[in-house]
Amino acid sequence: MAKFVATDITTSLNGSDISESLAQVELSITSDEVETTSFGTANAGWRTYTGGLKQATVTLQFHQDFGASGIDSTLFPLLNTNGTFVIVPTSGAVSATNPSYTFEALISQYNPIASSVGDLASFSVTFPVVGEVTRGTGA
Amino acid sequence: MASITELRAGLAANLATITGLRTSAEIPDNVNPPIAVVGFDRVQYHQAYNNGMASYEFTVQVIVGRVDERNAQRYLDAYCSSTGASSVLLAIESDKTLGGKAFDCVVSEMSSYGSAIIGENTYLAADFQVQVLAS
């Protein structure tokens, strides 16, 4: 895969494809920066760090839909539970050049109504990832 | 997945609920007013991943005869009103799914109220901007 325009990012929640309800997806993975600066001249007056615990969050911008199988009926019952997410850059087969990111996240937030008059009904949520994010290559 | 032709037809069908207003889903060579003509402006693709939604923008031009200046304006005023049996806004949004072909549609504004020269004739016309969300 080369540089690409993001039109086909595929996201599933508990096995259901929710891609067509999404306008934006962001998976942010960070590690704690643990300072190891010590006295002495070894660091020439510069601070030093080592990696600590890792964590991730996922931010999703949805198009709201209150239909019978719309996104509202999917998300609301999951509030306060862990959902399994799989995010893949395209809808093609998972591979080394189209890796999947799989994780559980706590559905800790839901904003069913977040619209101005005349605008497309949408809402954005950010969920903390629970545990590890695994990167799959289909191997 | 709706086609643009189906969306045009849906808008024309909604407009036809206004008694006495002719409709055309495509731009005709000649007009016989009063008539609402559905024109297509642009589409914004990829409003959701996986081709889940696109935003279509139509211009509905409502044209009335100009034989009697005052009455022509009164007719057009009624079409431009947000209430009443002749309201283009209410007619278009009477079935916001356009016969099940769209997620939603909204009339965002009316503009260009004034004379319109079509062929060799001068009419009175107003343009309505309509946004349609469909897959």
pLDDT digits (tens, 9 = 90+) for A95-132: 999 999 999 999 999 999 999 998 899 999 999 999 99
Task: Residue A10: list chain B partners with CB under 8 A.
Answer: 49-50
* pLDDT of amino acid A80: 97
Range of the domain at A117: 10-136
Q: What is the CATH number of the domain that holds A53?
A: 2.40.30
Name the minimum distance, in Å, from the CA of B47 to any CA of chain A.
6
Mean pLDDT of A39-58: 92
Contact residues for B130 (Cβ-Cβ < 8 A; gap 6+)? B11, B57, B58, B59, B60, B92, B105, B106, B107, B108
Which pairing describes strands B54-64 and B121-134: parallel, antiparallel, or unpaired? antiparallel
Angstrom distance (rounded) from CA B25 to CA B38 = 5
* pLDDT of amino acid B100: 94
- HSE value, Cβ hemisphere, 13 Å, CA-based, for B135: 12
Place of tokens 């399994």: A84
* pLDDT of amino acid B58: 97
Mean pLDDT of chain A: 95
B117 or A28: which leads in pLDDT? A28
* Whether residue A135 has pLDDT greater than 70: yes
Closest Cβ opposite residue B49 in set A8, A118, A120: A8
pLDDT tens-digit readout, B21-57: 999 999 888 889 999 999 999 999 999 999 899 999 9
Q: Answer whether A28's CB lies under 8 Å from A88's CB.
A: no
Domain boundaries of chain B, sorted by first residue = 4-134
pLDDT tens-digit readout, B69-121: 778 899 999 999 999 999 999 999 999 999 999 999 999 999 989 999 888 88
Token pair belonging to B13: 């069908």
Q: Best of B1, B49, B89, B108 to disrupt the A interface by mutation (most A CBs within 10 Å)?
A: B49
* pLDDT of amino acid B67: 74
Token pair belonging to B108: 């965002």
Closest Cβ opposite residue B49 in set A22, A118, A120: A22
Angstrom distance (rounded) from CA A21 to CA A39 = 54
Angstrom distance (rounded) from CA A120 to CA A61 = 12
Closest Cβ opposite residue A7 in set B49, B106, B108: B49
Angstrom distance (rounded) from CA B99 to CA B25 = 14
Residue A84: name the closest of A5, A14, A1 by CA.
Answer: A14
What is the distance of C-alpha A9 from the center of its chain?
12
A70 within a domain of the structure (yes/no): yes
Closest Cβ opposite residue A21 in set B45, B46, B48: B48
* Whether residue A1 has pLDDT greater than 80: no
* Model confidence band, residue A43 (pLDDT cutoffs 50, 70, 90): confident
Q: Give Cα separations from B45 to A40, B48, B99 (angstroms).
A: 60, 8, 21
* pLDDT of amino acid B86: 96
Fold for domain B4-134? Alpha-Beta Plaits (3.30.70)
Token pair belonging to B15: 């407009």
A2 within a domain of the structure (yes/no): no
A35 within a domain of the structure (yes/no): yes
The per-type count for chain B, helices as H runs and strands as E runs, is 3, 5
* pLDDT of amino acid B3: 94
Based on the structure, what is the number of domains in chain A? 1
CB contact A27 to B (< 8 Å): no
CB contact under 8 A, B50 and A120: no
A50 within a domain of the structure (yes/no): yes
Task: Residue B51: list chain A partners with CB under 8 A.
Answer: 7-8, 20
Q: Answer whether B96's CB lies under 8 Å from B123's CB.
A: no
ipTM for the predicted complex: 0.81
